[in-house]
Amino acid sequence: MTENQESFLFSSAYLAPISYYTAMAHCEVAYIEQWENYRKQSYRNRCVIASPQGPLSLTIPIIKPQSDHRLIRDIKISDHGRWQHLHWNALVSSYNNSPFFLYYEDELAPFYEKKHDFLLDFNMELCRIMCDDIGINPTLKLTDSYVPASEEICLSDLRERINPKVSGVDQFPDYQEIPYYQVYQEQLGFLPNLSIIDLLFNMGPEGLLILKGRRQ
């Protein structure tokens, strides 16, 4: 993989934040790293949505690796705690009154009904759906081998920059915190850099303007 303005390197992510898809909206090729070791407390198996009480983290349980050095491509999803049922109920209760929930509901519901074995596969399928629904079309490619961090690709390497411990404006150079309509903003104020699902359910196809850095 070589550096250019049209390619970015991402970690796998579960319904990634808006900054992640902002980067995807600015590239032609999105490389997803499949040869890295799985990292805890990241967006790889967690997303953040808006609930009536405020930001809510949804975490996919995984089958605990036998060591700390387990490739993300080998991480399996656990059935513990009926997580699919809980996640879908959280999405329904949080976004049922949003403008576009009913429009996308039937497309997304199967992800929370059908059993999925591997986290990477689940994330990739959802990512393709999100890109299509929001109106961006980067070519999604899994890396052929591990891409080491280097000065040559540091500007396009977002694997560790997009994580819950880094603010959205620091995750992606061109990212702007552009407010958009959110279903609970009157009581909660605007909540920045939530999961892409928040933008999709609240703004539908017009969410593309937010990803492109343009106000309505």
The one-digit pLDDT tens for each residue of the chain (216 residues) are 344 458 899 999 999 999 999 999 999 999 999 999 998 889 999 999 999 999 999 999 999 877 778 999 999 999 888 999 999 999 999 999 999 999 999 999 999 999 999 999 999 999 999 999 999 999 999 999 998 876 445 558 899 888 888 777 777 666 778 999 999 999 999 999 999 999 999 999 999 999 998 654
Cα distances (Å, whole numbers) of residue 68 to 36, 37, 71? 11, 8, 9
Whole-model pTM over 0.85: yes
pLDDT for residue 80? 85
Q: What is the pLDDT of residue 3?
A: 41
**CA dist., res. 73 & res. 198, Å (int):** 27
Q: Does residue 1 lie in a domain region? A: no
Looking at the structure of the chain, the number of domains it has is 1
Q: Is position 216 within any domain?
A: no
State which residues form the domain around 88. Answer: 7-211
| Whole-number pLDDT of residue 205 | 94
- Specify which residues 129 forms β-bridges with: none
Residues 6+ apart with CB under 8 A from 19: 162, 168, 171, 172, 175, 193
Residue 2 located in a structural domain: no
Are 5 and 13 a contacting pair, CB within 8 Å?
no
Torsional sign, CA 86, 88, 91, 94: negative
pLDDT score at 204:
97
Calculate the alpha carbon distances from 69 to 38, 72, 115, 161 in Å: 7, 9, 25, 20
Q: Can you tell me whether residue 140 is helix, strand or coil?
A: strand
